[in-house]
Each structure stands twice: as C-alpha cells, then as structure tokens.
Amino acid sequence: MIKLLPEKCIGCGLCVKACLFGGITLDNKEPALNEYCTACGACVDVCKVGAIVLEGERSKAGHDTSLYSGIWVVAEQRRGRLQPVALELLGKARQLADARGSSVTAVLLGSGMDMHGETLIQHGADKVFLADASFLSDYRTLPAERVIGGLIEQHKPEVILFGATTMGRDLAPRIANRFRTGLTADCTGLEMSPDGLLLQTRPAFGGNIMATITTPLHRPQMATVRPGVMKAQHSPGRKGDIETVTAEPAPSDDLVHILSSVKKEQGRIALDKADVIVSGGRGLRDPRNFKLLEELAGFFSGQVGASRAAVDMGWIAHDHQVGQTGKTVRPTMYIACGISGAVQHLAGMQNSDIIVAINKDPQAPIFSIAHYALVGDMNIIVPALIEQLKSA
C-alpha cells in the first residue's frame, strides 16, 4: 500500500530516519522498500516532496465513531468454568465505563452457562448476552466469530476486551479483521480519554519502551489483556439484565470437529495462583542458591519464580519465569532476590500487592517499585530472614 515516486525524491533521507523497522532504503537517491516495511505510513508523513504515498484501504476514512457505545468483555469459559480473566476484565471495563459514562456488557458463549450470568453482573456487567447452545460448548473459531460478530454488528460497542489467552489470541484478531479495526495485544494498562479514545498501553520494541496505542478512526476499539494483569471487583448486590441470544449452528462450523480435549498436565508450578512468590535472578550467582529461595518460600507455602536471565542460564525451568515472556503474577507478596528490575521483568510482577526487593546495588531499578528495599548481599539477607522466620 506504500507507493514510491522516485522521480520526485530529492534524496533527503528523512524517510529512512523515520522508519522504525528499517523498511526503506535510499541508494543514490533511489528509494526502495524491503520486506521489513509494515506500511505504517511513517515515511509518508515525513516526506516533504510527496515522493511516497499511501494507497488503498488505509487511506480511506474510518467508521462513524458516534454510532458506537458501551464497553464489552468477551467472557471466556473452559469446560463450563468461567475463567478468572473474564472477571478481571470486567473490573477494568467497569472503571472505563464509569469514566466514559457508559455501560458494561459481558458476552458469554457455551452450553449450560445459566449460572454464570449473575457472577458476571456481580463483577461489573450491566448486561450479559448469553449464547447457550450445545455447538458452542467447546471454543471453535468460526462459530464464536459468527455469533459474537453478529452481536457486534447489531449493537456496535465502542470497546471490546478479550483475555490474552489461547482463545482470546485466536478470536480477537479474527474479529478485528472482520470489522477492519485496530487491536492491541497484551495490554498492561487501559484508560479512557475524555473523548472516548481507549488508551492502550503495552511494552513495545522488545519491551524497551511502554507505548500507548489508540484506534482513532475505527470501531470497536479492541484489546487483549493477559490473565492476572487487571483486578476483579466483586459487588454481590449488583443488578443487571441477562439476555439470551439465539445461536444456530452453520455448515461452516463443521470445518473443525473437536474429537476430544485433553487437559494439559499441570506442572508443579502454579505461579499465578501463589500468594507469595520468591524470585531469583542473575544476582544469585549460583543455581544452588535457589534452594535458599525454596526454603524462604516454604514458610509462606509460596512458589519460586525467576528472571529470564536465571532461566536462560539454565538455573531453573522456564515454567518459573516471571515477566513479559514468562508469567504475569499478582501475589500478595513478591520477593525479588538479585533481580535488577528490567522493564520486561516488571511487566510480569509490578501489580503484586507488596514487593520486597533484595539487591546489593542501591540504584537497581527494582527499588523504584519496591515497597520494602533491602540493600545488601542476598547470600546474607535471605539466610537471615530464614533464621528470623524459624525463630518466629
């Protein structure tokens, strides 16, 4: 969709500087696009002589945004059980809707889902669309997209949130494509601007910056959020409406048959469910020091986590990794030992209720988010804590 007009190019190189992907080169005043071009249009904006133009669909105007209202959450169930991420997203949706003066709707697909309607309302929904049919019992892309897409067409929500789960990561892009709208994956923060723009924050460029992304022209505005990032809010007295949606199977559903589904064996590590996590990083120096962390975690029936550096060095299995490419956790207490606090690690644990950091470098970034900062050698501090806990 990017078209180059070499005859107009003056070889100033502004386009090369503006491209964050290295997608355009300039050789003897001869601009050329390569496979890294994402057609984002940054080069078009900086070109002062009109030598680069954006053609096709992206240059068209967006949707009539005034027709869209309300915040929706696509609530996920697995084997008939509502997934916690659905309730976490409703907590955030409630805040966004209150800021916008609009309403929250949960959409739930499945079979035998009646009992979940009230739960969704008690966690922030004003309304629940319940599509209850046997062909919807197991998630399949095509029927889910058809049923939810039909509801979107009819009701035009302004915002839709999905869990960044296997299901959400499959379904959300498909729906975004159907409505030709934007989707921001793995958001760590969501806010609403006064004029109704969803401010979607997520780590970008390898996690080195936090980018806030908006979808100014198209609707609905769509985002996925990983489990554990947002906080569920339970208000037992809340009232709302449950509307049953009639959903019929279609021939296209038969493209995929689910013959059986087998639950993956849960490893020993259930970091996302642990109340207390004691994590170790490169500062442990020796993998045997994870034994100390296990002992400390044991006092709280907690689990042991790790930074990517510790995992990459083969000190501990990837199951334990916390962060952008590991797990997102929100325990009551997170104890970080010998972890510097890189932004990719913080992305996975910064919402913990209490953060205790042990690091010998007083300038370590982890201290900027720690509630308790223990400056010193973890080989001295951790054994001392264990002794204190033993005597207590």
Ligand X SMILES: Cc1cc2nc3c(=O)[nH]c(=O)nc-3n(C[C@H](O)[C@H](O)[C@H](O)COP(=O)(O)OP(=O)(O)OC[C@H]3O[C@@H](n4cnc5c(N)ncnc54)[C@H](O)[C@@H]3O)c2cc1C
Least distance from ligand X to the Cβ atom of residue 268, Å: 20
Provide the minimum distance between the beta carbon of 247 and ligand X in the complex, in angstroms, as a whole number. Answer: 38
Distance in Å, CB of 316 to ligand X, minimum = 11
Euclidean distance between CA atoms 207 and 212, whole angstroms:
13
Residues 2/34, Cβ–Cβ less than 8 Å: no
Of 95 and 165, nearer to ligand X (C-beta) is: 165
Of the pair 69, 359, the CB lying nearest ligand X is at 359
Of 39 and 204, CB closest to ligand X? 204
Task: Compare residues 255 and 380 and give the one whose CB is closer to ligand X.
Answer: 380
Helix ranges, 156-213 (H): 166-178
In this structure, are residues 147 and 154 in contact, taking their beta carbons and an 8 Å threshold?
no
Partners of 278 in the beta sheet? Answer: 304, 335
Q: Closer to ligand X at the Cβ: 122 or 307?
A: 307
Select 205 or 258, whichever has its Cβ closest to ligand X.
205
> Cα torsion at 177, 179, 184, 190 (round to 10°)?
-160
Q: How large is the angle between the packed helices 166-178 and 141-155, nearest 10 degrees? A: 50
Closer residue to ligand X in complex, CB, 30/312: 312
The dihedral sign for the CA sequence 339, 345, 346, 348: negative
Residue at token pair 């910064």: 350
If residue 337 lies in a helix (H) or strand (E), which one and from where to where? strand 333-337
Nearer to ligand X, 170 or 186 (CB): 186
DSSP 191-206: EE-TTS-EEEEEEETT
**Residue 22 Cβ vs ligand X, minimum distance, rounded to whole Å:** 17
Q: Shortest gap between Cβ of 336 and ligand X (angstroms)?
A: 8
Tokens matching residue 284 = 């442990």
Question: Residue 253 carries which side chain, given as an amino acid letter?
Answer: D
CB of 379 to ligand X, least distance (A): 6
CA angle 263, 268, 274 (to 5 degrees): 100
Cβ 150 to ligand X shortest distance, Å: 37
Residues forming contacts to ligand X in the complex (CB under 6 A) are: 206-207, 281-283, 307-310, 321, 323-326, 338-340, 342, 344-345, 348, 358-361, 364, 377-379
Cβ atoms within 10 Å, residue 167: 20
Tell me how far apart the alpha carbons of residues 357 and 367 are, in angstroms, rounded to a whole number: 6
**Least Cβ distance, residue 287 to ligand X (angstroms):** 12
Residue with tokens 């990017």: 2
Shortest reach from residue 290's CB to ligand X, in Å? 12
CB 158 within 8 Å of CB 71: yes
Nearer to ligand X, 36 or 56 (CB): 36
First to last CA, the chain: 68
Other Cβ atoms less than 10 A from the Cβ of 162: the count is 29
